Amino acid sequence: MSGLQALLQGALQGLTEFLPISSSGHLSIFQYFTGLSGESGLLFTVLLHLGTLIAVFIAFWKTILELVVEFFHMLGEIFTGRFRLSQANPSQRMILLLIVSLLPLCFFILFKDFYASLSSDNDITVEGLCLIVTGILLTLADRSRKGRKTAREMRFRDALVIGVAQGIAPLPGVSRSGSTVAAGMLMGLDRQYAVTFSFIMGIPAVLGANVLELGEALGSGSFELPLVPVLIGVAAAVVFGIIAIKMVQWVVRTDKFKYFAWYTLALGSVVTVIGIVELLSGHAIQRMLLG
């Protein structure tokens, strides 16, 4: 893998991780046509995801710091018997809602190997179909009535629904940010709060999943990645991730969500057709591009 390929993948990961168009789907398609799929491609994808997590910490550091401080304050109230859910402030409620939103992952972790196999196989049909699913979710969210719920009004069932959306997001082509923000909007959340909740909710989920994948990959010792391209790719993921977060906040604020719905529906349809043609032709397009 060259430095240019790493830079392109890092930029692609950074932009598509937060824009509601599926980073895993775009990376899987890119790796398919460049011959970078398989275990090494999956490992590099994991490292790029860690880069985009850094972008989240940079973009939301004030909110994250406030939640961390409030978490320890809340623990003190619980241990001294002074905590009351009915009297919880918005930050404490957000912490509890974030915890509830992570509960569905206890079930979806059973599908971890299945998700990984779809991302590393030599086929892009599933990616196309999942991009169409993302487009449908974004369309429904865009047409939903604008909500007003923030941490004070949000219910635990809202958090569970968003958590389920996050649980299916590892499917290549299903956007994690798109599906969780869309679920929040459909549950009546304020659109800006839905973005903040979605991105912060993804920190423990994405971090935990990728640390496990990274440990397994490094433990196998069956492949290696060159250090310089990895650093280039991760740095690109951080920079373009921050840019993408700002773009999503602007898109939601200005009601331009529908454009991403149109994009994912169109791309998903094209990729599905190409994927079927590739299967029937024995990967003729891939072989032609790889020489």
* Residue pLDDT, tens place only, 39-67: 455 677 777 888 888 999 999 999 999 99
Mean pLDDT of 165-190: 92
More confident call, 124 vs 188: 188
Distance CA 38, CA 35 (A): 9
Angle between helices 23-34 and 3-18 (to 10 degrees): 160
DSSP code of residue 146: P
pLDDT band, residue 4 (cuts 50/70/90): confident
pLDDT band at 228 (very low <50, low <70, confident <90, very high): confident
Contacts of 76 (CB under 8 A, 6+ apart): none
Cα separation, 23 vs 109, in Å, equals: 19
Residue 205 has pLDDT above 90, yes or no: no
User: Which amino acid, 112?
Assistant: K
Cα 235–chain centre separation: 18
What whole-number distance in Å separates Cα of residue 150 and Cα of residue 89?
A: 12
Tokens, residue 150: 């923030």
Whether residue 124 contacts residue 278, with contact meaning beta carbons closer than 8 Å, is answered with: yes
- Tokens 């891939």 identify what position? 286
Residue 120, SS3 per DSSP: helix
Tokens representing 258 are 């529908």
Running DSSP on this structure, what letter comes out for residue 85?
Answer: G
Over range 184-208, report the average pLDDT: 91
Helix (H, G, I), strand (E, B) or coil at 149: strand
Q: Identify the pLDDT of residue 241.
A: 92
92-148 tens-digit pLDDT: 999 999 999 999 988 988 887 888 787 777 788 998 999 999 999 999 998 898 899
pTM given for the model: 0.84
pLDDT of residue 98: 96
* Structure tokens, 212: 């496990």
